[in-house]
Amino acid sequence: MPMADTQPGLIQQMLTELPPAFWIGGLALIGAMMGSFLNVVIYRLPRNCLSINKPSRSFCPACKTQLKARDNVPIFGWFLLGGKCRYCGAKFSIRYALVELLVALLFGFAAWKVLYAEGIQTTHLAAWITLAHVLLMITVLVPWALIDLDLHYIPDGLTFLPLALFVPLSANASTYQWGVAGFNPLMFGLQAQWLDSMLSAFTTGIAAMAFLWLMGRMGNLLFRKQAQKVGGDSMGWADVKIMLMLGVMLGWPKMIAAFFVAIALGALVGTIARVLRGTLGVPFGPFLAIGALAVMLFAPNFEAALNWYFNLLQGVAK
């Protein structure tokens, strides 16, 4: 779908002439602040006794003292405090700073990838909608992955509430179009492409959710003893719910590519964990999150790989 200009004239000229560092650096800074907020979400959301917005400032988990504004500077705050509470001396995990740095890097990279990697797109409305889509994905998937990693559980609020944003964002059909021979991400052939995109994305989510649920049931039958050792289910219900969200986020065939990336990473890490630590199960959510972000941020690379693979198959068939 061609990208339409927002407004010609002075605003368009200003958007074109602003240096890449303005948008990339600005969004990286916003990402660092968002990472600080996501640390709060990761800690408080799974603990029903805590509110995300009360208290409004972060507090020490040990002495419960609210931290001052200077202690909450993203990334650098941890280092300024020496990794510990200034009031009671309890140690803070370096993961707080690493999450802020990760989100900052992801926001900055997403800005470069969407707005500049394929030419200057700062005057195109569809590019900004796509960027908003990717940034929202990062904002949801980072806490998803870390909460699942910590607790093997993902709160429903982090799965179902974002659907209210991702369903309308999926109307931006350019987000889903892949130039892979034989694949049409729009399933229903409707004249209103935005409606087709929304329905296709939601259908993908429902199908992906059902597919993973069936895989889990089959895994319970085929690997009954191993499933019993990890609680009776080879695939957690949290992972099944994630598939609904990922399907709406990505549409297909990106959803399929993300799923296979997750399986490959999960198998590799799971094998290593079993050999080194004897661990039988690892949460699948973090790998799904990595697969989704990888496919969204490196879509042209996956597209080229799939085209190469299908051309190879066609050559063999001839």
Q: Does residue 3 lie in a domain region?
A: no
Domain boundary among 114, 146, 178: 146
Are 117 and 188 found together in one domain? Answer: no
pLDDT tens digits, one per residue of 90-101: 899 999 999 999
Q: Give per-residue burial for 122-154: e unless 16+ CB within 10 Å, then b.
A: bbbebbbbbbebbbebbbbbbbbbbbbeeebeb
Task: Please state, rounded to an integer, the average pLDDT across all residues of the chain.
Answer: 82
Q: Does residue 9 lie in a domain region?
A: no
Q: Does residue 282 lie in a domain region?
A: yes
| Cis peptide, bond prior to residue 61, ω within 30 of zero | no
d(CA 47, CA 51): 8
Q: How many domains does the chain have?
A: 2
pLDDT tens digits, one per residue of 243-254: 888 888 888 878
Q: Does residue 69 lie in a domain region?
A: yes
Q: Does residue 123 lie in a domain region?
A: yes
Boundaries of domain holding 253: 152-318
Are 65 and 115 found together in one domain? Answer: yes
CB atoms within 10 A of CB 242: 29
Residue 49: per-residue pLDDT: 63
Are 137 and 156 found together in one domain? Answer: no
pLDDT > 50? residue 4: no
C-alpha 7: how far from chain center: 31
Are 184 and 249 found together in one domain? Answer: yes
Question: Who contacts 165 (Cβ-Cβ below 8 Å, separation ≥6)?
Answer: 136
- Greatest Cα pair distance, the chain, in angstroms, is 73
Question: Who contacts 305 (Cβ-Cβ below 8 Å, separation ≥6)?
Answer: none
Are 82 and 193 found together in one domain? Answer: no
Are 188 and 132 found together in one domain? Answer: no
pLDDT > 90? residue 105: yes
Q: Does residue 82 lie in a domain region?
A: yes
Are 168 and 280 found together in one domain? Answer: yes
pLDDT tens digits, one per residue of 11-35: 777 777 888 999 999 999 999 999 9
Are 125 and 158 found together in one domain? Answer: no
d(CA 133, CA 160): 16
pLDDT > 80? residue 146: yes
Domain boundary among 111, 146, 181: 146
pLDDT > 70? residue 216: yes
pTM here is 0.85
Asked if 200 contacts 238 with a C-beta cutoff of 8 angstroms, the reply is no
Nearest C-alpha neighbor of 187 from the set 252, 130, 133: 252
Are 140 and 223 found together in one domain? Answer: no
Q: Does residue 117 lie in a domain region?
A: yes
Three-state SS string across the chain, please? CCCCECCCCHHHHHHHHCCHHHHHHHHHHHHHHHHHHHHHHHHHCCCCCCCCCCCCCCECCCCCCECCHHHHCCCHHHHHCCCECCCCCCECCCHHHHHHHHHHHHHHHHHHHHHCECECCCCEHHHHHHHHHHHHHHHHHHHHHHHHHHHCCCCHHHCCCCHHHHHHHCCCHHHCCCCCCCCCCCCCCCCCHHHHHHHHHHHHHHHHHHHHHHHHHHHHHHCHHHHHHCCCCCCCHHHHHHHHHHHHHHCCCHHHHHHHHHHHHHHHHHHHHHHHHCCCCCCCHHHHHHHHHHHHHCHHHHHHHHHHHHHHHHHHHC
Under the banding of pLDDT at 50, 70 and 90, the label for residue 220 is: low
pLDDT tens digits, one per residue of 277-297: 766 667 888 999 999 999 988
Are 158 and 299 found together in one domain? Answer: yes
Are 127 and 180 found together in one domain? Answer: no
Are 205 and 318 found together in one domain? Answer: yes
Domain boundary among 82, 114, 146: 146
d(CA 221, CA 285): 22
Q: Does residue 5 lie in a domain region?
A: no
Under the banding of pLDDT at 50, 70 and 90, the label for residue 3 is: very low
Which amino acid would we find at residue 79?
F
Give the pLDDT mean for 74-102: 92
Under the banding of pLDDT at 50, 70 and 90, the label for residue 276 is: confident
